Structure 1
């Protein structure tokens, strides 16, 4: 169960986290097809994206998540390289592609963290590398234009499952124009490569 002070509780079926490529939304499929070289899968969860890239695309993949149990599952599913580590703590590695899926912008938390996010990306992304990240514009939830402060895409969530609960965490949904603004400000290009049917989109970002 997904809990938020701003919305009713939502349910994620466990099998959704173990889906294969054919069961994934078109935006996720497009992102996986754009991956090249050495790939970092950030917030890998049960490892479905990494598993496809490793086994079907024959790419070198490192899957990371802050959940020890998620990493345990990815290893049991056959991911060769998986680590329980925060994205912002990665060091001494370089990647050709970095994957942030399932509203991957969420790990940024708040708009104020975006400079730190791009700084870390620049540190571990090869000069010719790319970031593939999806998000959603939550403007559709409002009857009138939301106030600028706080930004309407800054939310808080917690998770619960079979009597266990997570702590509350920040999660950022960012609209296309806001992402393009901050990308340019931090010297990254931003191209929208695919849009979904529900205000969601896939962005490709490259260092300038």
Structure 2
């Protein structure tokens, strides 16, 4: 991994001739992602992010923290004990420089030793699961990181709307696999990251997977095709 996301975040923070990121997926065209967007404050965040941050409590793990904007708000404004976790070393360096007290560069599957009251997976948090085939591995790991009465706040988008429809309203989707499994590619300053697997989930598919892995789940908010869900451990009778 070239850590192009981290490079862009680092250069933006240090004002070392930053440029916008470019992203594309296996079903979408090249799109601009302004790096400044990753440094937004609470007022600039969308409704789903704001709701998740408002509901966060206790000891928090922010998975896929990026430049650390969610963690900073929870640490500085809500005075919570927050750990920012991201696979990108340069992003985590910037998190620390921005004042986040606990910031760890590690894959969540290798992260251990602590449990949390709130786990955040935002900005299409289900993407980290990569594919339906791997989702059980990630959900089992999340289960192990969560305190008994804790919560996981996770968002995603049902991307069915991106596929063509026939005259009767039927949708043309791939014959094999799940339509939310995409290849995701990041470009920055003429360099391209190795494509990664990225998973968008409709709520019912996430619900089935969550319940199969010891969680109860509820949809908290829906904004167009995106939603915020909360998962909690099933209480054993």
Determine the structure 2 residue equivalent to 1:150.
177
Determine the structure 2 residue equivalent to 1:201.
227
**Residues 32-77 of structure 1: CA deviation (Å, up to 9, x unaligned):** 0111110000000000000000000000000011111111111111
Determine the structure 1 residue equivalent to 2:211.
184
Q: TM-score, normalized by length of structure 1? A: 0.96
2:120 is aligned, of 93, 99, 103, to: 99
Structure number with bigger Rg: 2
Please list every run of at least 4 consecutive aligned residues from structure 1 whose deviation after the TM superposition is greater than 4 angstroms.
none
Once the two structures are TM-superposed, the CA of residue 163 in structure 1 deviates from its matched residue by 2.9
2:66 is aligned, of 14, 28, 45, to: 45
Q: How many residues align?
A: 207
Once the two structures are TM-superposed, the CA of residue 165 in structure 1 deviates from its matched residue by 2.6
Q: TM-score, normalized by length of structure 2? A: 0.85
Once the two structures are TM-superposed, the CA of residue 148 in structure 1 deviates from its matched residue by 6.3
Mean CA deviation greater in 41-50 or 139-148: 139-148
1:14 is aligned, of 13, 35, 45, to: 35
Matched, 1:167 2:160: no
Q: Which runs of 5+ in 1 are unaligned?
A: none
Matched, 1:82 2:103: yes
In 1, the alpha carbon distance for the partners of 2:79 and 2:143 equals 25
Mean CA deviation greater in 139-148 or 78-87: 139-148
- Secondary structure of 1:112's counterpart equals coil
In 2, the alpha carbon distance for the partners of 1:204 and 1:118 equals 13
Task: Output the aligned Cα RMSD.
Answer: 1.1
Q: Which runs of 5+ in 2 are unaligned?
A: 1-21
1:113 is aligned, of 134, 142, 151, to: 134
